[in-house]
Structure 1
Amino acid sequence: MPDASAAATDARQRVLLWLVAIGFFMQTLDATIINTALPSMARALGESPLRMQSVVVSYSLTMAILIPASGWLADRFGTRRMFMLAIGLFTLGSLACAASRHLDELVAARILQGLGGALLLPVGRLSVLRTFPRAQFLQAMSFVAIPGLIGPLLGPTLGGWLVEYASWHWVFLINLPVGLIGLLATQRFMPDVRADAPGRFDLLGYVLLAIGMAGLSMAIEGGGERLGHAGALVLAIFGFAAIVAYWLHAARHPAPLFSTHLFRVRTLSVGLLGNLFCRLGSGAMPFLIPLSLQVSLDYSPMQAGLMMLPTALAGMGMKRIAAQLILRWGYRRILVGNTCIIGLLMISFALASPGEPVWLRLVQFALFGAFNSLQFTAMNTLTLKDLDGASASSGNSLFSMVQMLAMSMGVAMAGAVLSGFSNAFGAHALPAFQATFVTVGLVTIASAFIFWQVPPEARSPQLEEPDVAGRH
């Protein structure tokens, strides 16, 4: 009888891992599948493809805003209920995206989708943490992380194929059957774990932080066109004031959302700031590259998606040697040098022309993917490697939020710069993209000054690279 009970427990644990892994896959796939579909969406909605960044920004910004509350919500309402809510919101948001007839409707639907996406991995990871013995947790999370690598690999190509042979609506409709199966499986197999006495939620701190992130991202993304320069300036001031107010609030609150004491850890503070500014460029490239291939070089959606494969494959290959490189050269040398290399590779995309050989373009994409992967591994492990048990959970959540915020602000920045250059160059799309790639590359190179502050002796990466936002 005990053997039957143990076998049943093992079976439920395996199903739980698949549930969380599929949720992670849905989240990461949807963050990348949409990029190759943006020009087709723009045509269907009567919009310019150069002004579609709000579709990407709304999703990642929503995730950034909700991530800080995800752990408390799971503790308060239980993992099963919150995971079902996450899948339900994500699936309903996907349906609403496919039914959208105007850009504003699509943006609102992406916000709904982002609400679900923000909960999928944190709640799923918490369920795994509280179900598996500590000795098995690392192996379990390694299994869950595999779909997070496959999602970005398949996303651009699958998105291009669906657009070319069906319609852009299927980029979202493919989530529906997966979501329905996930709801049924969650109801049956997900354990309903929760904290016995969840602490009091820092609501004021959360509101201040949310206003700050939303204000700054919206000011960058569309204030200049929709609200005018004065409106963008007001949004930026409100956002910055809210961030400052949160810092002052956290310094005196007994249990803040994120303690200011975290920033006493030098590697964390440098890593977070470096992540934020370096990822402005890295977050912009998955948006800019497929768009430029289709708009300025006349690639089909399928061809644009296939061109992204060398980037993803080279990135996965670099993971195998990244730790050895960091151990050999140290974090500061790797991050300062590699940041400059990535910035120069971004600028090299400005050299693209219709007559460029395809093999040379593939080499360029592979190099960018490899060095970008090394950058993420170094930044991610540096940020969290010196946190102790008491601060690891809070630091990890803060890091997740910064990752998603940087993605949102990176796409917002790229969209704003691209829009400005497209107005300057008129109907000539290629010069606008070339100038945007140069700008994004220079911004990335500037972040190398932040990484110069890394202690020279730091050179011990964690065995497992922490990336809870599902990016690299």
Structure 2
Amino acid sequence: MLAPRRRGIATVNAEIRDGIVPAAHALTPARDPGGPEASGANYRLVALIVASALFMEFVDATVLATALPTMARDFGVRPAEMSIALTSYLLALAVFIPASGLLADRFGSRTVFRAAIALFMAGSFACGQAPSLSLMVAARFLQGMGGAMMIPVGRLVLLRSVAKQDMVNAMSWLLVPALIGPVIGPPLGGFIVTYLDWRWIFYLNLPVGVLGLWLVGRYIANFREDVPATIDWAGFVLSGVSLGCLLFGFEMASRAGQGALAGSLLAVGAVAGVFYVRHAKGREGAILNLALLQDRTFRLSVIAGSVTRITQGAQPFLLPLMMQVGFGFSAARSGMITVATAIGSLAMKAAAPRVLRALGFRRTLVWNGVIGTAGYAICGLFGPGWPVWAMFGVLVLSGFFMSLQFTAYNTIAYDGIAPQQMSSATAFYATFQQLMLSLGICLAAAALHVAMLLHGHARPLLDDFAAAFWTVTAISLCATIWNRRFAPDAGAEISGHSE
């Protein structure tokens, strides 16, 4: 490191941008927290490396969804009760994501990113060893603690490495391996459940994690603040209690005989949330910076994206259950059909920059949001008599349009964010992203339970699943209200669109 210091920080960073030296050798004080003037030649490599960690999360989630009915049988619980295994993971994300940006500023993005991968691997191993649902929930929470740092810190690394005009392209590269995970996840999960043991679902994360640790250590720069902000511990506790109680309150509300517990949790969560708002209002360095919502584009992206993610969270929970419990399909057959949404998402990535350039963000979000949500609503009409090619086609198109929607949300959100606020903005956005995915699972489970009660069914039948699908898609359709409020020229510099 002595030679690079004699050449100077600017020289080293120029060599990194030109691909002469690995990014891991960057001198951390030299960086623009909002991203460089121009992207380096290796910015796609940085995006792919970040995505290698996200790959584990996407494979894990999609494979696990296919395995839920089999796991429920082994644990001796009803399939619908397995939603807590998904919710506990997402709960950990919602609770710990707010601290991720501050930790990255204090210890360096590479250090925190590698620690997150290691923690995720430890949680994966614990999941594979879990003998009961309660211990599975605890292991999934440990996994979520690792995932909580991987998601926003990985995005922060990319935002600080890529110029604004290359952001749409970089986001598309970031999502390629993360989308390959869902493509191989459902059929892989079906194969493992049908022919092997579901515990191998979690052991698959270990070799991928080892590769990710090596790549991050070699190529990712250790960005950090010279004078990091003090961690808001009071805010961390209040936000964690609020988010945790609200999520588990919604989860318990979907279970029979848990009304009193659910009501208590929701009440505590609401009170803690009010106290957090009072604590954070006007406070510099709050763990969830509410002042970010003063930026119109960021605020609209948070609200509209959150409402839309209700359906995105519910769909991976409802589809495999409907096909295996409602249709009587095997896990392998179910996985081969549900992979269609990931194929549609992957196909969209090459089209996203061109669509946004032609239509702009506002028009894309308004019309594409309606089309994508309607596609998932059609899933409520599925039945065992439907041709496989027809279900597959609907899911491909749904995945295509919904993936375009989230690419647009995730990109335009930071259009007006100041460079020094980028860390807190990524943590804030990722927190609500994961919170609403969790809420989508809870609402889907609750809608399924209510439909079963109304229809007098002991186990979920097709009309129960239809009611659940239409409930969550009706909620997500409300995002159109906020999509229409984006300025016509919002994100024009990013998309290249001109009226």
* Class of the TM-score when normalised by the shorter of the 2 chains: 0.7 to 0.9
Q: Structure 2 residue aligned with 1:199, among 217, 221, 229? A: 229
Aligned in 2, Cα 1:422/1:259: closer, same or farther, shift over 3 Å?
same
> Separation in 2 of the partners of 1:416 and 1:95?
30
Could you tell me which of 360, 366, 370 is aligned with 1:336? 366
CA distance in 1, matches of 2:494, 2:417: 11
Q: Hey, what does 2:22 align to over in structure 1?
A: 10
- Output the amino acid matched with 2:400: A
- Which amino acid in the other structure matches residue 242 of structure 1? A
Give the whole-Å Cα distance in 1 for the aligned partners of 2:417 and 2:23. 34
Residue 45 (str. 1) matches residue 78 (str. 2): no
Tell me: CA distance 1:125–1:396, structure 2 relative to 1, closer, same or farther (3 Å): closer
Write the letter of the residue equivalent to 1:165.
Y
Distance in 2, Cα, partners of 1:313 & 1:379: 20
Residues 72-91 of structure 1 correspond to what in structure 2 (within 5 A)?
72-79=102-109, 81-91=111-121
Unaligned 5+ segments in structure 2 are: 5-11, 26-41
1:401 to 420, 431, 441: 431
Question: Does the aligned pair in 1 maintain the 2:100–2:148 contact within 8 Å?
Answer: yes
The answer to whether structure 1 residue 460 and structure 2 residue 492 are counterparts is: yes
Q: How much is the aligned-residue C-alpha RMSD, in angstroms? A: 3.3
Aligned partner of 2:31 in structure 1 is none
Amino acid at match of 1:441: T
163, 176, 180: which one pairs with 2:193?
Answer: 163
Counterpart-to-counterpart distance in 2, 1:76 and 1:9: 25
For the pair 1:253 / 2:283, whether they are aligned, the reply is yes
1:425 equivalent to 2:437? Answer: no
Compute the TM-score of the two structures, normalised by the length of structure 1. Answer: 0.86
Q: 1:379 aligned to 2:379?
A: no
Q: Distance in 2 between matches of 1:126 and 1:11?
A: 15
Q: Which moved more, 1:429-438 or 1:344-353?
A: 344-353
Question: 1:458: how far off?
Answer: 3.2
> Take 1:66 and 1:342, find their aligned partners in 2: how far apart are those partners?
30
By how many angstroms is 1:311 displaced? 1.8
Find 2:64's aligned residue among 34, 41, 66: 34
Q: Which structure is higher in helix share? A: 1
Q: Indicate conservation of the 8 Å contact 1:345/1:441, yes or no.
A: no
With over 3 angstroms needed to count, the CA separation of the structure-2 counterparts of 1:253 and 1:427, relative to structure 1, is closer
Say if 1:332 and 1:19 are closer, same or farther in 2 by CA, change over 3 A: closer
In structure 2, the partner of 1:173 is 203
Distance 1:414 1:432 in 2: 11
Deviation (angstroms), 1:71: 2.4
Q: Give the deviation of 1:115 after TM superposition.
A: 0.9
CA contact (8 A) 2:347 2:400 kept: yes
2:278 counterpart letter in structure 1: L
Question: CA 1:117 to 1:255, structure 2 compared with 1: closer, same or farther past 3 Å?
Answer: closer
Aligned AA for 1:434?
A
Answer with 421-430 or 247-256: which moved more: 421-430
Partner of 2:466: 434
Structure 1 residues 319, 61: CA separation in 2 closer, same or farther (over 3 Å shift)?
A: same
How far the C-alpha of 1:279 sits from its partner, in A, is 0.7
Structure 1 residues not aligned, in runs of 5+: 465-472
Query: Counterpart of 1:25?
Result: 55
Partners of 2:164 and 2:470 lie apart in 1 by: 47
Q: State the number of aligned residues.
A: 461
- AA at the equivalent of 1:38: L
How far did 1:181 drift? Answer: 5.6
- 2:250 aligned partner, one-letter code: I
The answer on whether the counterparts of 2:176 and 2:349 sit within 8 Å (CA) in structure 1 is no
Shift, 1:347, TM fit: 2.5
8 A contact 2:242–2:268 mirrored in 1:
yes
The residue type paired with residue 462 of structure 1 is I
Which residue is 2:342 aligned to? 312
Equivalent AA in structure 2 for residue 212 of structure 1 = S
Following superposition, the deviation at residue 450 of structure 1 comes to: 2.7
The residue number in structure 1 matching 2:420 is 390
1:38-437 pair list within 5 angstroms = 38-79=68-109, 81-124=111-154, 145-180=175-210, 194-223=224-253, 225=255, 228-423=258-453, 424-437=456-469
Residue 21 of structure 1 and its aligned partner are, at CA, apart by: 4.1
Name the % identity.
36
The answer to which of 182-191 and 332-341 deviates more is 182-191
